Structure 1
Amino acid sequence: MPPPRKFFPLLFTNAALLAAGISPSTPAYPLSLSEAGGDATSQAQELHLEVHINQDPAATLARFSLRGQTLSASAQTLRELGLRLPTGIAAEAPDIALEQLSGVRVDYDARNQRLDLQVPVQMLDRPTTYLHAGPERRAAAVTNTSPGLLLNYDLHAQQLQGDRDIDGFLELRLFGLGPGTWSSSQNTRLASGRTGEHATSTRLDSRWQLDLPDRMLSLSLGDQLSGALSWSRSARIAGLHLTRDFSLQPYRVTTPLSSFAGEAVLPSTVDLYINGVRQASQRVAPGRFQLDAMPALNGIGQAQLLVTDINGHSSALEFPLYGAPELLQPGLSDWSLDIGVLRRDYGIRSFAYDHRPLASASLRHGLGEQLTLEAHAEAAQDLQLGGIGAVALLGHRGGMLNASFSGSQAAGRHGSQRSLGYQWNAPGLSVSASTQRRSRHFVDAPDYLRQATLPLRTDRFFVGFGNVHSGQFSLNYISQHYPGNPETRLAGAGWSRSLPGQAWISLQFNHDLGERGMDNAYLYISTPLDRHTQLSSALRHADDGNAVTLEANHSPAMDNEGWGWRAQASTGVQASAHLEINHLDEQGHWSLGLDHVGDIGTLAYLNSTGSLAWFGGGLHRLRRADDGFALVTTSGLPGVPIRLQNQWVGNTDARGELLVAPLHAWQRNLLSIDPLALPADMQIDAVEQQVVPAARSGVRAAFRLQPGKPLSVQILGLDKHWLPAGTQAVIESQGRTVTRTVIGHDGQLYLDNAPADARLRVRQDGRECRLALPAPGSLPATTIALEPLQCQR
């Protein structure tokens, strides 16, 4: 917990006291005889009073004594009321006159036996009230996962000048059978044409993964990427991967929280604003409070704390903040451990692994509010690597600094890597600069198999500035030097701005500072015609010529089904044209198109993306489910519209089922039914529910629907007139009370779900009468009886 700002108590104490007309040196207000309602005798009266301190009621009655005009209490009573005794008063004093307490105002209401005390905030001895801004932090309870099998597919077929290719990415996933999830993916290609026919299939990744959300731990066995830091690199390995996974508790805040502390004299409302946007509003009782706010920005911002008491008086304080997502809270650690062997020729060969074992570990630890330490190590045969780093926040305005140093030993040669970076973000200005230097003999795990050469030097610089009126400007520079190659140095400048009617314009210029000295410039303008349709044009200038591109496209809404299209034409060194139509629904997405490029020819293609799932005892088609999904059931009722986060996602099929994807794993996803779309007589227990799927797994969401049994009749009383409106009626079934209702005008009784053997019992003019109600199915479709019913004794 960060230390609160120490200037808050003084500011809010004085401001609130002055607002209430109180000074810390204000003398006590003695009670007059008439006010106290007592007499001038010396005998004390014992009183048990309702106490309000600074207009905040105490939880229980408190014991006082009244002698003449003096109201007294014991030291224990005052401590129980949350008051701090002034210096010089004994801790066990049995009788303390309230008029002896400096700065205390006393108002005793004898008629209502109520005592109002107005005390300086320094006298309040209460625990600090801790408040929280932002979403709920506790982990969401995971909905029970049901067994299932899922196949994600991405199929692409094309033809160009007699050559045909069919490529497919497939991922098979098994979940809900025992702990963890099994998955395997592969690429498959079928080709035919002038060179003959051939088929290839390459396995990509196969692994088993177990997530433990309560401990924020993830364990996986198989093919995966090793853990890494910002200044190290991941390697493809086959083996064991154990890591701290913050995504298993997405509502937990890992970055340091800004803490704001103060004191309120009266019951007040505390409002926190960051960059003019209210982040929290909570009520506090008199005394100390501390507000822990979730970071709402990346970079510098302005915070304002506004305290408003119940009398409407406000005190405010402004101060700067700097949000840094790269930092961890003090004492919080993020780490990973990998043991396995390196993967060779990924995407080319299915089972190619290095025979030498590899171990890798990464660690980040929050040492303080403004400092996070980092470490990384790798070990294999003929390879040892170790490095340390740090991320530091330079005060509340200074930006963020990061640095690292690594050393390696491979094949008897030593190498080193050094990096240094700085960034500063503000609403109108952003600056970042970084450099990374490596010696020629520095080797890490990806470079261990000589599959990826590291640059000897990399320098980057970026500055962005502007506002809504002038647009956003940017300047950038990058330099890289690879062994045996000339140094590459690029400089660029850009400008972008929104135009009236939600149009957009962007201009970018780049210059090669090296020997080639090449220049290129790019201008892009887009104009929306409606929510999903837009026109755009692009002009490109380069040393090899100029090009002009015109495009019009219409995209279907991702939260709905529909058709889309795209048409594009380019002129320049090589003319080209593109035409595509696509369709999106709850079962997936497909597109059909033509590409024509100069002398190459015309390419026709067809692409389809989606999923097949064996879940809930049936086979379903749905959109591609890379994360969680849910099987929604509506008790067999077809055609029911289902909403996800209040957005329509599809209707239930003939079996009353719909698979909804994607859902956010480990988070609360709101599924709902629009009751206005249901038949009027349909009964439903709940119109919405929240489901929390595990990662890459499916859950069930059952909405219980059943046709109602409405009944509407008119009833005559014992006097053969309509029962009076408002008459209390009891509905019984099998001798038990089912419900209670009232009679409407003209003796009308309506039940939306009447039992088959319902009986009515009412009291009229002191007499009780009963009536056997007809079964709902025995009435016409209007559910209104043709003849009124007579209530009998």
Structure 2
Amino acid sequence: MSVSTVMHEARAELFDTSLLAGRSKESDLSRFLSNVELPAGRHKLDVYVNDLWKGRFKVLLGSTREDVKIASTAISELGLQTSWVSPAADSDNWIPVQYISEGATFVLDISTQSLRVSVPQAYVRRTDESYIDPQFWDPGLPALILGYNAVYNRLEAQSTNVATNDFYSGLNLGVNIGGWQFRELGSASKRSDERIQYQSNLRYAQNNIASLKSVVRVGEFYSGGELFESVKTKGVGLSSDINMLPNSMQAFSPVVRGTARTNALVIVKQNGSIIYQENVPPGPFVIDALPQTGSAGDLTVIVQEASGEVTSFTIPFSSVPSMLKAGVSKYALTLGSAVQPNTNYTPDFFQATWQRGLDNRATGYLGSTMSPEYQAYLIGGAFNLPVGALSLDVTHARTDLKERNFTGQSIRITYSKLLDATATNFTLGAFRYSSANFYTFDDAIYAKENNFSKNRKKYQNRFDIHQTEDTSVIDMKTWDSLTGARPRNNFSLNISQRLPGEWGSVYFAGVQRDYWGSNKKSREYQFGFSKSFNQVSISLSVNKVRDSHGHEQTRSYIGFTIPFEMFSNRATLASSVSFAESRYSQSNTSVSGSALQSQRLSYSVAASHDPENRAISVGSTYRANNVTVGGTLGEASDYRQFGLDARGTVVMIPGKILASNDMGNTMLVVEAPKAKGMVVNGDASVVTDEDGYALVPYASPYRTNSIMLSEGANTSGGRVIGNVAHSVPFADAVAKVTFKTDLRQALNFRALHANGSPLPFGAEVLDQAGNSIGYVGQASTLYINYDKRPSQLTVRMHDSVCAINLPDVLAPRASVSCR
């Protein structure tokens, strides 16, 4: 490597001014090549490695662009190999950027306050390119948060003129301070003449611990449900947050190992598509950063040698939910009291789970739930086999009830496989056998009150899709626990099949349960078919569902959708017919679409018919800058309906209150001082206010979020300097992204020499004090920026100057004289 190569990369591009027309070829453009716009010393710059943003680092600048140094400790944080030993680090461990790896080059971009480094791939650590070192994760600002989703609905019976008015609002209340996030998740509801009621669902404080890749929670929250069933808990929990890991470590994928005889190209394919490729030198190679590839499909590894020789081999790959990548661990610890609904029994308990990816083929896991009157122990493993992915675990539980003690076991098996030859995705999910004396923790809690008979009467004919005024929705699992229905076998099956040629695809999903002490069985299933041709989509489905009285019913559906264009926007015509037990049930026809800039307005018009009724309805939703509002209106022969809804988030940060048009968890505050009307990431519904602030309700935690500002129809005020910035927030944080702005006023006007000839392109414009405030652009137009409007300007050309007396008012299309 030679320093001259680096200097070539760093030197500004030259423009041949002789290519300009007329006297413009005599322009002095040397000021645009200035490399001393930043003084020598330490500066904090955005650093990119191979065009990927890695964070804001302290950089030491010398007197020239070529004299740029960075701390040697930053090499690892930039995602580079630390085995490269630099010969040029000084006594303070500052290293010239060209020596951070062999073959490194760089460009210092003063205009964007950034340093762009190019490094050979061999010296980049094998991890996700998009992964940012945890030191740059932003815990965010102190903030008060109110997220809401409010719905009002009025339903009036035509025959009786009796109306019911229902109001509901889901609420997400939060306080972020000192790295802690306090959350209250609840709902407010009111029905007709009843008083408004508030229900708290979860209430907790959490702290994200980057060093442990974990999160700690204190308060009311749900325990993890991956190995044991999730339990609402009042206590404390510490658990892994897999989102803190690089993307390739979050989901199971095998490690590819092989040997190359020459400089070779290694290609990894799944289901016929290339998912990864890399150049490797001669010798053994390891590829351990495959992207997330789904849960099924063997991997074909192709090694293309420089000699032209090609070899390949297959790595069996199927995955089930409990599989982890080799070397990755997950854990969860929970200590507290169980506070399940529909019971007053709140036992103390401790629960611990641990999972570990052992190698390409196996993941092991353990778990335990301990309570004074209930103990359970789980052991299991997940295996990536040539015949598919299989997980198997056994749970042993002891339950102490008033009458007697029960000891039993439960065996759970999950299987998944993609049959490549027939493109069949086959999943046998959670086949579970439980012995007669096995209780889950849920079962034990409800059984402790010994109120089976009371619950059977209270919840008679109550199922998960039915709701009465005096009870809340109950899912099937809770129903079984409340009524003492003890599952014996639970069998679920999921199959999806792509049909040959252009015949579409089919799927089947079903579950069957049977119980100890009963001959009854519960069955639910779905079957569907879909096909698209010439943009027209046809679908058919058959479902077994339960009605409000618990009766099973088979319903079928057939429908089609046709896209078309209306008022220069896309819209969709949809029509469907449904049947219940082979009898006609209902038909629907609708037109829906969106309009306005950024598709801010969505709408639908629908008509329906059933054997007893005809109805028509309209609905619309509009995304304003600070709230999303919508309304619905429907009428039929026996009812009239009217509804309103609104959702959004209000955030208070020090010195500012902001609002967005959607509910958010992890959010970004954009600040571009005094730049009003700037559009954020091209979404015309997210724009900066008069102070230059905007709230973005959607951000990806622990990942780079790039924010780009562009001018909108009503942009005014400060001019943004550099329109792209980045942030890597913690989960549930309110992070801040700040842009620099030029607050000077801008003025454009045309000026000519006294003889009517144009001024040369690129000539510099100075104010009375001799400060450079602008330049001459095309067609002899002057572009100037100023704090205080000047009365006189000087235009400095290559070999002469001329002066302009600037009038207070400039007439449209008028020209001023430069003498």
TM-score (norm: length of structure 1): 0.69
Query: In the alignment, what sits opposite 1:642?
Result: 680
Alignment equivalent of 2:572, drawn from 528, 531, 534: 534
- Equivalents in 1 of 2:657, 2:494: separation in Å? 52
2:390 alignment partner AA: L
Compute the displacement of 1:378 (Å).
Answer: 0.7
Compute the displacement of 1:252 (Å).
Answer: 5.2
Q: Deviations over 1:107-143 (max 9, x none)?
A: xxxxxxxxxxxxxxxxxxxx99888586433446334
Query: In the alignment, what sits opposite 1:423?
Result: 416
Mapped pair 1:461 → 2:493: yes
Mapped pair 1:786 → 2:816: yes
Question: Do 2:535 and 2:562's aligned partners in 1 also have CA atoms closer than 8 Å?
Answer: yes
Question: Do 2:608 and 2:615's aligned partners in 1 also have CA atoms closer than 8 Å?
Answer: yes
Residues 507 and 780 of structure 1, relative CA distance in 2, 3 Å threshold: closer
Query: In the alignment, what sits opposite 2:297?
Result: 300
- Equivalents in 1 of 2:188, 2:777: separation in Å? 71
Q: Deviations over 1:515-552 (max 9, x none)?
A: x9965433232222347532223333333832132131
Query: In the alignment, what sits opposite 1:247?
Result: 243
Q: Deviations over 1:670-711 (max 9, x none)?
A: 221225868799743111212233322322233333334668
Residues 654 and 475 of structure 1, relative CA distance in 2, 3 Å threshold: closer
- Equivalents in 2 of 1:466, 1:745: separation in Å? 60
Compute the displacement of 1:406 (Å).
Answer: 0.5
Query: In the alignment, what sits opposite 2:708?
Result: 672
Q: Deviations over 1:27-75 (max 9, x none)?
A: xxxxxxxxxxxxxxxxxxxxxxxxxxxxxxxxxxxxxxxxxxxxxxxxx
Residues 219 and 784 of structure 1, relative CA distance in 2, 3 Å threshold: farther
Residues 711 and 684 of structure 1, relative CA distance in 2, 3 Å threshold: farther
Moved more, 155-164 or 775-784: 775-784
1:686 alignment partner AA: G
Where 1:662 maps in the other structure, the secondary structure is coil
Q: Deviations over 1:144-183 (max 9, x none)?
A: 6122212111222223343443433343533342221111
Where 1:361 maps in the other structure, the secondary structure is strand
Where 1:294 maps in the other structure, the secondary structure is coil
Mapped pair 1:210 → 2:240: no
Query: In the alignment, what sits opposite 1:78?
Result: none
Moved more, 358-367 or 625-634: 625-634
Query: In the alignment, what sits opposite 1:167?
Result: 167
Residues 773 and 705 of structure 1, relative CA distance in 2, 3 Å threshold: farther
Residues 354 and 721 of structure 1, relative CA distance in 2, 3 Å threshold: same
Query: In the alignment, what sits opposite 2:737?
Result: 701
Superposition pairs for residues 214-293 of structure 1, below 5 Å?
214-230=211-227, 232-249=228-245, 251=247, 253-254=249-250, 255-263=252-260, 265=262, 272-280=268-276, 282-283=278-279, 289-292=285-288, 293=290
Residues 290 and 711 of structure 1, relative CA distance in 2, 3 Å threshold: farther
Question: Do 1:490 and 1:510's aligned partners in 2 also have CA atoms closer than 8 Å?
Answer: no
- Equivalents in 2 of 1:653, 1:759: separation in Å? 36
Mapped pair 1:200 → 2:194: no
Residues 521 and 715 of structure 1, relative CA distance in 2, 3 Å threshold: closer
Query: In the alignment, what sits opposite 2:535?
Result: 502
Residues 291 and 437 of structure 1, relative CA distance in 2, 3 Å threshold: closer
2:152 alignment partner AA: A
Compute the displacement of 1:472 (Å).
Answer: 1.4
Question: Do 2:333 and 2:352's aligned partners in 1 also have CA atoms closer than 8 Å?
Answer: yes
1:620 alignment partner AA: L
Question: Do 2:410 and 2:434's aligned partners in 1 also have CA atoms closer than 8 Å?
Answer: yes
- Equivalents in 1 of 2:761, 2:245: separation in Å? 53
- Equivalents in 2 of 1:576, 1:329: separation in Å? 53
Alignment equivalent of 2:376, drawn from 380, 385, 390: 385
Alignment equivalent of 1:436, drawn from 423, 432, 439: 432
Query: In the alignment, what sits opposite 2:632?
Result: 593
- Equivalents in 1 of 2:614, 2:186: separation in Å? 36
- Equivalents in 2 of 1:726, 1:573: separation in Å? 78
Query: In the alignment, what sits opposite 2:469?
Result: none
Residues 786 and 711 of structure 1, relative CA distance in 2, 3 Å threshold: closer
Residues 160 and 340 of structure 1, relative CA distance in 2, 3 Å threshold: same
1:408 alignment partner AA: A
Question: Do 2:648 and 2:660's aligned partners in 1 also have CA atoms closer than 8 Å?
Answer: yes
Query: In the alignment, what sits opposite 2:140?
Result: 145
- Equivalents in 1 of 2:751, 2:283: separation in Å? 62
Query: In the alignment, what sits opposite 1:330?
Result: 326
Query: In the alignment, what sits opposite 1:34?
Result: none
- Equivalents in 1 of 2:273, 2:389: separation in Å? 24
Where 1:640 maps in the other structure, the secondary structure is strand
Query: In the alignment, what sits opposite 2:604?
Result: 565
Compute the displacement of 1:616 (Å).
Answer: 5.1
- Equivalents in 1 of 2:765, 2:637: separation in Å? 84
- Equivalents in 2 of 1:641, 1:129: separation in Å? 38
Compute the displacement of 1:481 (Å).
Answer: 1.2
Compute the displacement of 1:456 (Å).
Answer: 1.8
Superposition pairs for residues 515-554 of structure 1, below 5 Å?
519-530=554-565, 532-543=570-581, 545-554=583-592
- Equivalents in 2 of 1:698, 1:776: separation in Å? 47
Residues 511 and 331 of structure 1, relative CA distance in 2, 3 Å threshold: closer
- Equivalents in 1 of 2:166, 2:763: separation in Å? 74
- Equivalents in 2 of 1:536, 1:749: separation in Å? 55
TM-score (norm: length of structure 2): 0.67
Where 2:442 maps in the other structure, the secondary structure is helix
* Equivalences, count: 633
Query: In the alignment, what sits opposite 2:521?
Result: 488
Moved more, 628-637 or 162-171: 162-171
- Equivalents in 2 of 1:723, 1:566: separation in Å? 60
Query: In the alignment, what sits opposite 2:443?
Result: 447
Question: Do 1:158 and 1:606's aligned partners in 2 also have CA atoms closer than 8 Å?
Answer: yes
Question: Do 2:489 and 2:514's aligned partners in 1 also have CA atoms closer than 8 Å?
Answer: yes
- Equivalents in 1 of 2:676, 2:164: separation in Å? 41
Where 1:786 maps in the other structure, the secondary structure is strand
Where 1:187 maps in the other structure, the secondary structure is strand
Compute the displacement of 1:507 (Å).
Answer: 2.2
Compute the displacement of 1:399 (Å).
Answer: 1.0
Superposition pairs for residues 63-78 of structure 1, below 5 Å?
none
Superposition pairs for residues 599-618 of structure 1, below 5 Å?
601-615=639-653, 617-618=655-656
Larger radius of gyration: 1
Question: Do 1:616 and 1:631's aligned partners in 2 also have CA atoms closer than 8 Å?
Answer: no
Compute the displacement of 1:424 (Å).
Answer: 0.4
Q: Deviations over 1:269-317 (max 9, x none)?
A: 65554444444455556666544433424211453536475x9x57463
Residues 648 and 693 of structure 1, relative CA distance in 2, 3 Å threshold: farther
Residues 166 and 617 of structure 1, relative CA distance in 2, 3 Å threshold: farther
Question: Do 1:560 and 1:585's aligned partners in 2 also have CA atoms closer than 8 Å?
Answer: no
Gaps of 5+ in 2: 1-120, 157-161, 447-477, 546-550
Where 1:184 maps in the other structure, the secondary structure is strand
Residues 502 and 629 of structure 1, relative CA distance in 2, 3 Å threshold: same
- Equivalents in 2 of 1:370, 1:408: separation in Å? 29
- Equivalents in 2 of 1:650, 1:753: separation in Å? 28
Query: In the alignment, what sits opposite 1:658?
Result: 694
Superposition pairs for residues 19-98 of structure 1, below 5 Å?
none
Compute the displacement of 1:455 (Å).
Answer: 1.8
Question: Do 1:681 and 1:709's aligned partners in 2 also have CA atoms closer than 8 Å?
Answer: no
Where 1:253 maps in the other structure, the secondary structure is helix
Question: Do 1:228 and 1:376's aligned partners in 2 also have CA atoms closer than 8 Å?
Answer: no
